[in-house]
Structure 1
Amino acid sequence: MGIIKSSFSLMIGTVCGIYIAQNYDVPNIHKLYKTGLVIAKHYEENYRKPKKKEDDDDVFK
């Protein structure tokens, strides 16, 4: 009885998730995550502070 009682909420959540995914237009989370990563990378590249000249010279010595 312990395993059924402890996994009851997991089973109900799984069944509800399957029902919602089949009957409603649920966004693709993986695609949304990838889009957010691309936007964050673009933002970082455009708004990053430029390196100082001293830092660039030290790298090549």
Structure 2
Amino acid sequence: MGIIRSSFSFLLGAGCGIYVAQNYNVPNVKKLINTYIFVAKHIEETYRKPKKDED
């Protein structure tokens, strides 16, 4: 009984996700994440402390 209940909720969620993706303007999450990572790297490199010269 447990496998039927869990597979039903999975199929219902997948069906709702497919419906929403086809009928609404859903942003591309992978592209958004890559953009945020690029911005974070740029900010980190811009405000990084300078390396100390060990002479």
TM-score (norm 1): 0.81
Unaligned runs of 5+ in 1: none
Q: Over aligned residue pairs, what C-alpha RMSD do you find?
A: 1.2
Aligned identity (percent) is 65
1:47 aligned residue: 47
User: Structure 1 CA distance, aligned partners of 2:11 and 2:18?
Assistant: 11
1:18 aligned residue: 18
Unaligned runs of 5+ in 2: none
Deviations 1:7-41 (A, max 9, x none): 11101100000000000000001100110111011
Q: Which has the higher helix share?
A: 1
TM-score (norm 2): 0.88
Q: CA deviation at 1:2?
A: 3.7
AA aligned opposite 1:19: Y
Runs of 4+ with deviation above 6 angstroms: none
User: Structure 2 CA distance, aligned partners of 1:30 and 1:49?
Assistant: 30
Say which one has the larger Rg.
1
Between Structure 1 and Structure 2, how many residues are aligned?
55
